[in-house]
Chains A and B, each alone.
Chain A
Amino acid sequence: MEYLIGIQGQDFVLVAADNVAASSIIQMKHDYDKMFKLSEKILLLCVGEAGDTVQFAEYIQKNVQLYKMRNGYELSPAAAANFTRKNLADYLRSRTPYHVNLLLAGYDDTDGPGLYYMDHLSSLAKAPFAAHGYGKRFILNLPSFTVRLIDKEGIHDLEKLTLGAK
């Protein structure tokens, strides 16, 4: 199953994606890149149905670049995310919806880093951390960890680990 993960920090966004392109039970490629560069500071990560991913992601990519050519400045990550969501929503109730799940990660010079979660039903959420795939079930359960250490001396309490704004 395809996996995307993104974590937003103080002044960065960290994203990762798996490298497998599979066709039912066969791994056809081990080095497949699922990230699409929309502009100098925006990345779009795209997983989902075989042809839809590349077609949709390239369509968004070319339109973002076209905006820059026409207007002389780049779209902000928030604008790019909303544009992507609008396109997904427009095709959702057509005969050919795009079955894709996306993460958009960007850095805006005024607003700072931003991570946007979008899914195939064209929902959009700006989140401090997000994932797609089976990994989603693991990362979304991480508000905080209680940590204890067990060694030959017994059980020790360690500092609580928290993730995200608290």
Chain B
Amino acid sequence: MALEDVCSFKERSVQHKWFSFSSLGDAAIPFPMSDHYNLRYSRLETSENNCGVPLHFFIPPLPHSSSFIKRPLSSFCPPKNSMTVQRPFRLAHGTTTLGFIFQGGVIAAADTRASAGGLVACPAVHKITPIHSHLVVTSSGSGADCMLWERILIREIRLYQLRHGHRLSIRATAKLLSSMLHPFKGTEMCVALTLCGWDNGPKLIYVCSDGARLQGDVFSVGSGSPYAYGVLDRELRWSLSKGEAISLAREAVFRATHRDAYSGNNVDLFHITAQGWSQRKREDLKEEYYRDKEKKGKKKNDKLK
């Protein structure tokens, strides 16, 4: 990816087969879409086809999508000899991720189940990815899209650091990510990331492929988020100790995985402070369930006595 960009390599022959997203008229895109931090105008000309997305994003021509009526894709009309790609299964967005700020830093927690409709496609996925030493991102939505955009974000942040000698702030990272996702608004891409990090203080920012960019103190994303919010809203305070915060995050994910069919298996937990992120050992929630059941059973027996 990086080398291709540095060499301004463009595969012209491929453009006949695939409908290149980057070759759509730039009239509707109000931002100067080129390599983000490169101010030399000669580079701007050669990479003018690049819509700000680091690779040449050739999307296969999609059948007319009626779910987004406001953004008619009729101008994406594929050339007659091209093939449309049928998806073999319905995309589903089952997950529980959460992040919150307290006096001891930022906690990021997530389950590890990847579901495809009713199938548990993978029980041990990493939904929390470190971007750099002081930033992790929790992902939700379409697994493939999230993995790609995490990788793109890592690349862009690292490039900025190499070019300018200092690290981009987390708010700027969120804004950069939001601008990069904007051209794909109205397509079926679904990415909801929560950036949890530390730069001059704890930061928590939610970025979504719809375009939303919100900074806050607590966010939970995914199909299990209402259950997680229920647990978090009750106990969350600024003055929590590290141990209490970790057990609160675990409890919130556990309760969400208990009730939500599309979340489950394990819980991943990251703690970010001024010294960087640290990861807790992945815990199987099945054991937590049995411990909880035993505790409740004991309570019931105590009451009966």
Contacts and interface: CB of A to CB of B under 8 A. Distances in A.
Interface in A64-114: 91, 94-97, 99
Contact of A95 (B71, B208, B214, B216): B71
A145 B95 CA distance: 52
Contacts of B186: 96
A52 B213 CA distance: 11
Contacts, number: 54
A19 to B, nearest CB: 12
Interface in B206-229: 206, 208, 210-214, 216, 219-220, 225-226, 229
Interface string B91-118: 0000000000000000000000000000
A95 B28 CA distance: 7
B28 A51 contact: no
B211 A50 contact: yes
A90 B52 CA distance: 22
Contacts of B70: 49, 97, 99
B210 A50 contact: yes
Interface residues of A, number: 20
B79 interface: no
Contacts of A94: 27-28
Given A51-B185, A97-B70, A28 B211 contact: no
Given A95-B72, A95-B75, A28 B210 contact: no
Given A26-B226, A95-B71, A52 B211 contact: yes
A111 B28 CA distance: 35
B242 interface: no
A29 B219 CA distance: 9
20 contacts: A23-B208, A26-B226, A26-B229, A28-B206, A29-B214, A29-B216, A32-B214, A50-B208, A51-B185, A51-B212, A51-B213, A54-B211, A55-B211, A94-B28, A95-B71, A96-B28, A96-B29, A96-B71, A96-B186, A99-B70
Closest 9 interchain pairs by CB?
A51-B211, A50-B212, A50-B210, A94-B28, A96-B28, A50-B211, A95-B28, A29-B216, A29-B214
